[in-house]
Chain A
C-alpha cells in the first residue's frame, strides 16, 4: 500500500537558518503530494502541493519539488522564522485516501 516516510524530529533551528525536512514515498500510480502544517492547538492546514513529476509547490517561502526518480518531496525554506515553529506533515493521495507521514516537529529559536 501507499506510505510516506519523513525525517525524524524534532528539529531545532535558530532564526534565519536554512530548513530541509526530508520526505520519501511509496505509491502505485501517480500520486499527488502535499505538505500540511499544524500550529499548536490547531488542525492541519495545507502548506503546498504538487500534482505531477517535476512540479514545484511553493507558499510562504517554503518550497518542495516532486521528484519521481527519487520518490521524494523534500520541504525547504531559506530563512526560517520563530512563527514557523509547528509540526509539518508530508502526505500523498492517489484517489480516495490521503496517507500522512508521521510528522516532523520544528522549533525555531530567536
Chain B
C-alpha cells in the first residue's frame, strides 16, 4: 500500500494564479480531509469529506474548493492564490465516516505564494 500520496511536494505560485493540490489514498477510506499547517497554529481543517460525492467546510475554507468524485481522490483547488495561503498542506484519510479513527497523513505540500 502506498497509503496517502500528495503531489506536488513543493510549489511556488504568483498571486492570482490557480492550482490543484492532489491527494490520493489506496486504503479504501471513506473519510478524507485537508489541513494547513502554519507556525504556532497547529493544523487547521480546511475541508473534509465523509464519502464520494459528499464534502463539507472545515475551520478555514475560504479561498479553497474541493470535490470528491471517487473514494480514492480528494483534490484541493486554489482558484486565485494569495500570499496568506503560503503554508504546508496535509491531506489525511481514515476509516469510517467521522474523525474518531486514526488519521493517516500524506507527506505534505509546501506552497509559497509570492
A positions within 8 Å CB-CB of B: 4, 32, 36, 41-46, 49, 51, 89, 93, 95-103
What residues on A are CB-neighbors of B41 within 8 Å? 102
Contact of A100 among B42, B56, B108 (CB under 8 A): B42
In-complex Cβ contact of A98 among B4, B40, B45, B106 (8 A) = B45
Do B99 and A93 touch across chains, with their CB atoms under 8 A apart?
Answer: yes
CA–CA, A42 and B110, complex, Å: 11
Interface residues on B, range: 20 to 34
* Known A43-B90, A43-B106, A44-B105; contact A98-B42, beta-carbon cutoff 8 A: no
Cα A97 to Cα B45 in complex, Å, equals 8
Knowing A101-B42, A102-B41, the reply to whether A96 touches B99 (Cβ < 8 A) is yes
Q: A44-B90, A44-B105 are in contact. Are A93 and B42 (CB under 8 A)?
A: no
Docked-complex contact A98 and B102, CB < 8 angstroms: no
Question: Is A98 a contact partner of B99 (Cβ separation < 8 A)?
Answer: yes
Instruction: Give the distance to chain B from A105, nearest Cβ to Cβ, in Å.
Output: 10
For residue B102, which residue of chain A has the nearest CB? Answer: A46
CB neighbours (8 Å) of B75 from chain A are none
Cβ-defined partner of B105 (8 Å) among A41, A45, A102: A45
In the complex, chain B residues whose CB is within 8 Å of the CB of A44: 43, 90, 92, 103, 105
Which residues in chain B, 74-108, are within 8 Å of chain A measured between CB atoms? 90, 92, 97-100, 102-103, 105-108
Q: Does B66 contact A (CB under 8 A)?
A: no
A43 touches B99 (CB 8 A): no
Q: Residue B21 at the A interface, CB < 8 A?
A: no
Docked Cα-Cα span, A64 to B4, in Å, equals: 27
Pick the contact of B56: A36, A43, A46, A96 (CB < 8 A): A96
Query: CB distance A43 to B108 under 8 Å?
Result: yes
Contacts of B59 in A (CB 8 A): 97
By a CB distance below 8 angstroms, the chain A residues around B48 are 96-97
Q: CA A42 – CA B47 in complex, angstroms? A: 21
| CA gap between A36 and B43 in the complex, in Å | 11
